[in-house]
Structure formats: structure tokens, C-alpha cells
Amino acid sequence: MLASTSSASVAAPASRSAELWRAIEDNVREACLLRAEDREAEAILILQETLPPLIGDWSRTAGLEVPAAQQALREMFARVQQQVANAALCRRLVLRSLGQTAAPGPVPAPAATFQLRRRVPIGDVPGMLDALGETERAQDAAHRRTLVAA
């Protein structure tokens, strides 16, 4: 009985540490996205107000030496920044393929709406690009049939 109690107490800090890590990563991603949208004041609020207490709590529960914790944070920041940069590039490519420009700031509402031919999870950027291509090809084919019929 004593062994299960101590393993449960060990699992709780590990679980708490994982929750804090996810919260840190989510907030870093949000700050990077806000910066990519030129919403610097909101990004600074996250970086200066939200993240420091989360990082402090995580560093106390992670069980890592200070240099290892700092390295893990640096690597996560770099990875998330690269993910956001890749997403911004994908956004620019999609907008360019739609004949729009990728101006900084919030994504403008599309002039015309369209329905993808299949559901794609929000985080699946390659899948979104594939579905967008499928939809464009289907719309082009329908347009050509209309032209031929006329």
C-alpha cells in the first residue's frame, strides 16, 4: 500500500509539470502568432505577465537542473518560433494561390466563401493545402464545363 501511495505522489508532480509545459508552449505559440500579426502589445503581455509564473512553477516541478531547464525552454521557444514561421509561409502561399496578398495583420475575411470537399483537422496544414487544391481543381473543372456548355 505504501508503494502505491508514493508512486501516486511522484505521478502528480510529473503530471503537473506536463500540464505546465503544455501551457507554456501554448502561450509561447500564441505570443509568436500575435507578433506575426503585428499585435505586439498583446504578445508582450503574454511574455511579461503570463509566462513568467508558468515557467517558475514548471521549473520547480520539472525536476531538472537549472541549465537543463533553461536549455529545454530555449529549444521549445526555437521550435515554436519555427512552427509559426512555417505557418506564416504556408499562409502566404495559400493567399498567393488565391490571388490575394499576405499583408501582415489579421487574416482578412475572404471575398467569397467556399466549402472544402472534406474535413481537415485545424493543425493539419499540409492536409489543408491538399484539400484547398482539390477544391480549386473541382471549381476549375465546373467552370470549364460551364464555358463548354455555353
Domain match, 86 and 147 both: no
Distance CA 41, CA 60 (A): 29
Q: What percent of the chain lies above the pLDDT cut of 90?
A: 41
Domain match, 133 and 78 both: no
Contacts 24+ apart (CB under 8 A), 32-41: 32/80, 32/81, 32/84, 33/84, 33/87, 36/84, 36/88, 36/104, 37/104, 37/105, 37/106, 38/104, 38/105
Domain match, 24 and 61 both: yes
Domain match, 25 and 46 both: yes
37 pLDDT more than 70: yes
Is 42 inside a domain boundary? yes
Is 5 inside a domain boundary? no
Q: What percent of the chain lies above the pLDDT cut of 70?
A: 61
Distance CA 144, CA 146 (A): 5
Query: According to the model, what pLDDT value does residue 128 have?
Result: 66
Is 3 inside a domain boundary? no
Domain match, 103 and 118 both: no
SS3 45: helix
Query: According to the model, what pLDDT value does residue 20 have?
Result: 95
Distance CA 51, CA 31 (A): 10
Range of the domain at 51: 10-107
Tell me how many domains the chain contains: 2
Measured in whole angstroms, the distance separating CA 147 from the mean position of its chain's CA atoms is: 41
Query: According to the model, what pLDDT value does residue 51 have?
Result: 92
Domain match, 17 and 90 both: yes
